[in-house]
Structures are given as structure tokens and as C-alpha cells.
Structure 1
Amino acid sequence: MAGKSMERRTILKAAGASAATLGLAATTGCGGGAGASADGTVTLRYAWWGGEPRTIAIRKTIALFEKKYPKIKIKPEFTDYAAFWEKFQTQASGGNPPDVFQNAVGFLRKYDRRGVLMDLKSQADAGHLNLENFRNGVLANGQVDGKQIGIPVGANTMALVIDRKAFEKAGVEPEFGWTWDEYFDALQTIQDKLRIAGDTGYFGIMYLYDLYLRQNGKAFFTETELGFTEDDLTQWWEDGYKRVRSGLVADPKKIEQVAPKSGLSAGLAASEFTWDNFSIRYEGEGESDYGLAPIPTTNGKDTGQYLGSLMLSAFSGTEHPKEVAQFIDFMVHDPEVGRIMGYDRGILATTEQYEAFAPADETNQGVKAYEEDVAAAGVLGKITPHPSGADVVEAAFLRLGGEVAQGKTKPADAAKALFSEAKAAFAG
């Protein structure tokens, strides 16, 4: 295989993580407006999505903030991902979103276009928010049309999670710079020797397809539309479906049967593409050892990778912009907050927090090593812009890719449907 061999530390041994780390809590906070009391105390609403461990950690950081700023009280609101955005849509339409909230790149243009998001540059200019010390250019993820409408709290990148025992038994060693052909040859070797599928369903993952497109001079999105053709996508899904039929990719019906457990940790396949910081789930679910391996390439070098991130955004109509900025500043720069949050939302985005948190477990040590190696390889590019409606397109890609995998929809018909749904989403 091409490229230099991976250092052993990069293929991490994922150990000791609880599946609950990625579980989604159904608990929600109460609604209600923010305001100021007679003694000048200000109350800010802060909303996020995520599991119980995230909520426990965030509550600790809120307590720290309120100790430093006794005149600012934080009212938490939290739920799972789907319910969060359903609720937020209603709140935004009613002019009553939270003062501060967790955000992601797929929603920036959508809510910026609706005038919901504050340009935080004004608060930075006023000295209430520090926009320095963000690692590897990740601050740009929150920028749209010259405005800073999101402040990253963490960063992650796509990776290939492998069953290390399966790869070792098959005599296959992932290497930086390996090609897609070499990757699929490796999966064939695993299938031949171990009688299990090589992959759980790579072709239904929008963010992986984005990397493949970027390797080939395109991208999933431009700032206003899709950055590829129906023929491009038809080919991608046709190739994927052929690999399902040959057994190289796991049977989607079996994958469904073990859900919410991953097909990788259930032993149905030897590898799965996902975000690197999500790799903690597999050790909690499975019986093998799991590690991070490099993204396959088209030309033996470029992976198409970039750092994605979760962010904090602010409501443009908040009554307390200064306090909101102070809160965001504290949450992204305070070292103790970094030690409390760890890598729950990805590798910590600022140098203050990154240097303050030293992961003790092998899982997080491996995630840190993987991102450092990817950055050192010089392959990281800028994140692909996401137009308004990108969230709808992502959901459609996942659904239609699943239909292709199950043989319910022909690849060409699925590609046509995606373009139709995307057109409607971008116009909405």
C-alpha cells in the first residue's frame, strides 16, 4: 500500500468508554424568557442537545460561570438532537429562541438568512469576546458572508474506525495515503479470510461522500446549491449497492436489527466511517478492540478532510448582548471549563482549553493523536460551505442512501429524488 505506515499510537485502542457517553437524554428544560431583575441580575437562556454526560458536564461549567459572574444567571434548556431543532424552529419563528445555543454548520446560513443569529464581531470589537487562540483555523467554521455567527467549542474530523483484531487476523494494515482501491481490496481480504463484511455502509454517509468529492476537485455543497451532478451520485450509490450485493458491505437489514448498536461493534463488519470523537461508542458496545485509521484517498495523498465543529451562537434579538458574549467567551476559553468538558463535543477548540485537558484514557488519547497526525500531514482544508437547507438535504441523503442499500430504490432514481428535494430545501 502507498504512503508511510501509521504510527501505532494513531490506531488507538479504544478502551473503557461507556455507551451512555453518546446516549441521548430525553430530559428537556422549561421555556420562558430571559430578563433582568430589580437588583440588576441578568438571566440568559442556554440551550443544547446531547446525552446525560454532556448535560452533567455543562451544568458544572454553568456553576463556574455564575460564580465568576454573580450578576448573570443561566437558565438551561436541553434535549436530544431531533427534538432540539424541532423546538428551535418553533422558537425562532416565534421570535423567542434562547439567548445562547449550541449550533452546527448545517444550520448557520438557514438561521442567518432569517435574521436569528448575532454577528459576534461587534462584541469582540467591544472587548467582551476573544476571537484569538483558536486551533487549526477552526474559527472560520462559524463565519458566513464576513460575519462571525458561531464560535467553535470543539473540533472533529472524519475517520475510519476499524476492528483491530479483524484487520490483524486478515493481515491488513491501514496506511496514510492508501487509495480507495486499496481500501476495498483490504475489505475483500477480510471478507475472504474472516467471512464478515468489510464495511457497515459507507455510501450512505453524506460527510464521507463530501470528502470523496473534495478529493476529486468538487464538494457536496457550494454556498448556494449542490456541488456535484446526478451522474456523480448515481455512480457512488451504484458502486455501494454492488458491494452490498457482493457481501463486501454489510446487509442493511442486519444492521437495522442490531440498532441502535453499530454494525461494527455487533461484529457484522470490520470497519465504519464516522467522526473521530464518536469512536468512544464502540468499546462500550462491542467485544473487540477498535482503532482509528486514515481516510482512503484518490491520489495517494489528499483525504479531503477538514475540521468540523460544534459551536455556540447567540440570538440577534437578545436583550443582553454583552452578557451573552461574556458567557460564550468563558465557555470557549476558560481552562477549567476545558478540563470539565473534555472531548465530549470534539477536540477542544482553543489553545487555553486544549492545553488544560490531558486525556487519561486511551480512547481520547487516540482521538487526540489522530487529529494531531492529520494536521501534521498537511491535508486539512477548509470546511465546505453549507447553504440554507443543508440540514434537510443531509436527512434526505441518509434516507435515500438507506433505500438504495436495501434495494428499494434504484441509484439513479434516488439521485434524482435527492436533487429534487435539495432544490426545494434551498428555495425554502
Structure 2
Amino acid sequence: MSFADSHHRPTRRRLLSGLVAGMLALPLALGACGGDDEPAADGKVELSFFWWGGEARAELTEKALDLYTAKHPNVTFKKTWQANQGYFDKLATLTAGDDAPDIFQIDDNYLAEYATRNVTLDLASYQQSGKLDTTKFPKGLIEYGTVDGKLAGLSFGENTQGLVYNKTKLEAAKVPLPTTGQSWEEHIAWAKDAAVKTKVAGTQDPSADYKAFWVWLRQQGKELYNGNQLGFTKEDVQKWFELWKGARDGKATPTADVIHEGNQTDVTKQLVVTGKALTSWVWANQMPELQKNTKDQLGVIAYPGDATKQWPRSSMYFSVYRGTEHKDTAVDVLNFLANDPEVGKILGTDRGLPSNLDIRSQVAASTENPSMKQTIEVVGELAKNFGPAPTVPPKGHSTVRSELIKAAEEAQYGRATPAAAAEQFFAASQAAISR
């Protein structure tokens, strides 16, 4: 399992179960906010540690936790992991039953929800005291883990939006490679020309992709969210949908059925990998996973437009349960996993580019994976121009993402005009975040 699985799409059922669990967990979390650690009579501490991922991630995570125990023999772990599917159902059930893990993995689909319901421990005081060292973290990663002024989760991997392109096919057809800084209109014109010369669609249509829409909005001076409200109008959505209708009409993109494949498939089957488009709109740190699935050489750049509107997004976090009896120990574990050089060698980039920039440099210097080196270099270059991170998405974000796909596909298949599809999405999004 690669770190690219941070792009998973939670189901509607998982979202609802998370909401229910969050409401049930509120009094439990509030009632369990003790002070110092409470070790057993023999001085032993066992922490439950819960994460999602595949067997490869499990092996790496267990090795890292075993290293902590080797250096702190009084601390052991109850390790539990499972695949993406059903993970948040399980976390919701555990939280509702007052049996939440001491430390658990979470992403930005649910961080705000759990934080606003007081399930997560505020890590800010530990950060301020130096017990949780974030001095080597990009500032944006800390901002993107903060909810209502509280540090709800510690980032364990950075990524940013990336436009991955097929360098082999483009060079073979003598088509100039795309470059950071092209406007959206210039990118579409480039894609139309590339499609003519390569006989492959120039670009996947990203009108259903929330992260592309979000970057575009920021470049218009808007946001996806303004606190717990939408940060855009339905007219903004209409303009976005019209932009890509023009691209489809101009044959810069694939047909609707192929676009649908790109909307629905996992990272290993993105159109840039299957040869059905010359570019795909992904997270930059997914590039190595894409590269593993094609013989062609790939490249990655920023999304079109002003690259300073991109931000360092946390691929995932670890949070501490507010009701744990071992707060100090749990935070020390997070500090160890994020900042210990030996752990850095073990975990590598499984959860994303290491948040600690010194550890990231060590990984870049030691890895033999050329696409990983390139990704670290690209994200590092983009980071020089990053602007402020947006706030963590509010509850309902997962539904907003899925509703964008539904509405965009109505337009992509021609079943609705851009205006009608925009109205559909805007109404559904307002309902999702106001529940």
C-alpha cells in the first residue's frame, strides 16, 4: 500500500456513521479529560494505536512502534489496522462506545468533525512547550491541522496538487511539455494541440475534481469554504463547468465515458497511466505510484494558474483521543514518530512526504526511487511559493466532494447545462455542510 491512498473517497454511509458517532462521543470525551498520565501499578503503559492501510504500511508502522518500545520498555502498543473501506465506520463505533484508540489516523474529511465534537486532544500546549516539536514542519501543515484554534492532529505527510503528464508520448510527438504558470485557458489550448499531434486526449477533464475546483477558486479570490459556509456562489460553479464544456467541445478532453473512468478509478488506473489522456489531476506525491503502473516516463508540475494558491495539504494526521489516560505518553509517541531519524528511514514516504523537512531531506538522499526523488524536489520547489493554507474542511466535506462528481458528470454527459449542473451542486453542497 502506498501513501497515495490518502485520496480515498469515504462513502455516504461512513460519513453518516461518523456524524452519529461524533454526537455520541461528545459527552464521553468531555467527561474523560483528566490530567497527567496514569500508568499501571507496575509502571507499564499500553497505548492502542489504530490506522488504515495495507500490509506494507502495517509492517512499517509496527516496526516504528517496536522501535519506540525498544527505547521506552515500559510502553507497549495494542496495534490495530485495516483497509480503507470501513475504517471510519470502525473508528466511529469505537468512539461512540467510549473505546476510542489512544492514537488514531485521520484525514481532512473528518478532522474538523472529530475536533469540533471534542474527541481529539488539543496538541497546541504540547507544541508550545516543545514536547511536540514542529519546528521543522512547514507552517502550512500546522495550519492545516488546526480547527477553531486547536491543533487537532499532527500531520504525517505532505502533498499538494499535481498535474502529472506523459513525458514519453509528448516528446515522441514533439509537443512542448506543459509548464507551471500556464493559465487554465492556455492549458486547454495546449491540450487541444497535443491531442491533435498525439491522437490521445490532451487532458483529463477535472471539472468533477474538488481539488482542481478549489485551486481555481482560490485563484479567483474565493475559497471552497468560508468557515462552516460555502466560500463560492453557484455562478462560480457555472463558470467552472463552462470552462470545461469548452474544453470538451474543443476535443481537448476524452469522451464522457472515459472521463467517468478518470473520475471513478483509483490512482493506479488514472488516465495518464492507462494511456487515455496525456495528463491526470492528482496529488503530487501520488506520482511514484502512477509511475509504477506505466512504462512511459511521467512528469509532474503545479496546476494551471497562480501556483501560490496551492498549499501544503496534509495527506493524513495522527490524533490523540481526548479521553486517553496517557496523554503525555501518546503525544511523546507522535513526537518520536515525526522527528526520529531512525523512524524516518523506516516509514519513508508511505504516508506522504515526511512533515519534518530534515527527515524529508534524508529520505530524498537515501531513496533509490527516481520518481520519489522527483516528487520531493517538485513539492519542495512548489513550497517556495505556497501561500497560506485554507482552513480544514468542515463536516460534510465528503458529501460535497461526491456531489461535485454527480453534478459535473451531468454536464459532462450533456444531461444538464453548466448552469443547471451548477445549481444542483450548489444546493446539495449547502445541504451537506448545514446538516
Q: Same fold (TM over 0.5)?
A: yes
Candidates 349, 365, 373, aligned match of 2:373 = 365
The one-letter code sitting in structure 2 at the alignment partner of 1:189 is D
Gaps of 5+ in 1: 1-18, 26-34
Could you say which residue in structure 1 is the equivalent of 2:329?
323
Task: Give the direction of change, closer, same or farther, for the CA distance of 1:214–1:330 in structure 2 (3 Å limit).
Answer: same
Q: Is the 8 A contact 1:234 1:415 kept in 2?
A: yes
- 1:306 match: secondary structure: coil
Alignment of 1:174-185 (within 5 A): 174-185=178-189
1:58-104 superposed Cα distances (whole Å, 9 cap, x missing partner)? 12111111111222111222223342122222333333322111222
TM-score (ref. length: structure 2): 0.84
Distance 1:80 1:407 in 2: 36
Distance 1:425 1:87 in 2: 22
Query: CA offset at residue 314 of structure 1?
Result: 1.1
Q: Is the 8 A contact 2:58 2:81 kept in 1?
A: yes
1:424 aligns to 2:427 (yes or no): no
Alignment of 1:344-359 (within 5 A): 344-357=350-363, 358=365, 359=367
Candidates 195, 211, 217, aligned match of 2:199 = 195
Alignment of 1:1-400 (within 5 A): 22=4, 39-124=42-127, 128-168=131-171, 169-254=173-258, 259-260=265-266, 261-297=269-305, 301-309=306-314, 310-357=316-363, 358=365, 359-376=367-384, 378-400=385-407
- 1:273 match: secondary structure: strand
Q: Is the 8 A contact 1:113 1:388 kept in 2?
A: no
Task: Give the direction of change, closer, same or farther, for the CA distance of 1:328–1:420 in structure 2 (3 Å limit).
Answer: same
The one-letter code sitting in structure 2 at the alignment partner of 1:396 is E
RMSD over aligned Cα, in angstroms?
Answer: 2.5
Q: Is the 8 A contact 2:175 2:197 kept in 1?
A: no
Distance 1:219 1:318 in 2: 35
Distance 2:311 2:392 in 1: 12
Distance 2:257 2:216 in 1: 26
Q: Is the 8 A contact 1:170 1:190 kept in 2?
A: no
Query: CA offset at residue 342 of structure 1?
Result: 1.5
Gaps of 5+ in 2: 9-37
Distance 2:338 2:406 in 1: 34
Q: Is the 8 A contact 2:3 2:351 kept in 1?
A: no
Distance 2:204 2:166 in 1: 12
The structure with the greater share of residues assigned to helix is 2
Q: Is the 8 A contact 1:100 1:313 kept in 2?
A: yes
Query: CA offset at residue 126 of structure 1?
Result: 6.0
Query: CA offset at residue 164 of structure 1?
Result: 0.3
Task: Give the direction of change, closer, same or farther, for the CA distance of 1:74–1:375 in structure 2 (3 Å limit).
Answer: same
Query: CA offset at residue 131 of structure 1?
Result: 3.3
TM-score (ref. length: structure 1): 0.85
Query: CA offset at residue 47 of structure 1?
Result: 1.6
Could you say which residue in structure 2 is the equivalent of 1:30?
none
Q: Judge which range, 148-157 or 131-140, deviates more.
A: 131-140
- 1:159 match: secondary structure: strand
Task: Give the direction of change, closer, same or farther, for the CA distance of 1:180–1:256 in structure 2 (3 Å limit).
Answer: closer
Distance 1:296 1:257 in 2: 22
Q: Is the 8 A contact 2:116 2:147 kept in 1?
A: no
Query: CA offset at residue 235 of structure 1?
Result: 2.1
Aligned length: 397
Q: Is the 8 A contact 1:222 1:387 kept in 2?
A: no
Task: Give the direction of change, closer, same or farther, for the CA distance of 1:408–1:202 in structure 2 (3 Å limit).
Answer: same
- 2:288 match: secondary structure: helix
1:6-42 superposed Cα distances (whole Å, 9 cap, x missing partner)? xxxxxxxxxxxxx8775799xxxxxxxxx96553322
